[in-house]
Homo-oligomer: A and B are copies of this chain.
């Protein structure tokens, strides 16, 4: 388990920037080398190919993101607190890594294999056998805290509600004058509206 050299770190840094901006196919090894202030040959010395470099960058970025995401699932069994905190944390997390959304979208469009692998790794690391959410929702239904519903669909909806504004960010900011998705004001309001909609939507 090495820490990696300084040059390696510079390459990863530069590669991340370029891959995020241009996508895998649009990215050029020349540009990555340029931003890292080295030459192309050195890129291939450290990482064997463009594919390997991309995989390394993607895995690292996404793994950290998912790790942070799943660490933000509250420990309590109180479904109201779980939902409130998770949505707020999730929105905060995404808003502080807006570029990453594009990266992940790109990868999913390509088939989503890396993402699935990363998810599996995260599950293994945290010892999950299923979405940590799922069980809490099922329990809440059994106890009658929330109305009967399909937990899987609820989770999909919650994630969709949280993540969509950031996916559509350029479009929304272009189509709706004055809106600023990443502004503190919008995020604050968004968290309230999201939680209210979901919470009211699942009352018995």
A residues contacting B by CB (< 8 A) are: 22-26, 101-103, 105-106, 108-113, 115-116, 119-120, 147, 149-150, 152-154, 156-157, 159-165, 167-172, 174-176, 179, 189-190, 193-194, 196-203
7 A-B pairs with least C-beta separation = A160-B164, A201-B201, A112-B170, A25-B25, A102-B109, A153-B193, A25-B26
Knowing A101-B109, A102-B105, the reply to whether A164 touches B156 (Cβ < 8 A) is yes
Instruction: Report how far A153 CA is from B23 CA in the complex, Å.
Output: 30
Of the candidates B120, B176, B200, the one whose C-beta lies within 8 Å of that of A200 is B200
Instruction: Identify whether the interface residues of A are mostly helix, strand, loop, or mixed.
Output: helix
Number of copies: 2
Instruction: Report how far A160 CA is from B194 CA in the complex, Å.
Output: 11
Rounded to whole Å, the gap between the CB of A26 and the closest CB of chain B is 4
Chain B residues whose C-beta falls within 8 Å of the C-beta of A110 in the assembled complex: 102
Instruction: Report how far A105 CA is from B102 CA in the complex, Å.
Output: 8
Q: Which of A116, A119, A160, A194 has the most CB of B within 10 A?
A: A160
Q: B119–A108 contact, CB under 8 A?
A: no
22 A-B contact pairs sorted by A residue (CB < 8 Å): A23-B109, A24-B26, A102-B109, A109-B170, A111-B170, A115-B171, A116-B174, A119-B175, A153-B189, A153-B190, A153-B193, A154-B193, A156-B168, A157-B161, A157-B164, A160-B165, A161-B164, A163-B164, A164-B164, A197-B201, A200-B201, A201-B202
Please, which residue of chain B has its CB at the minimum distance from the CB of A119? B175
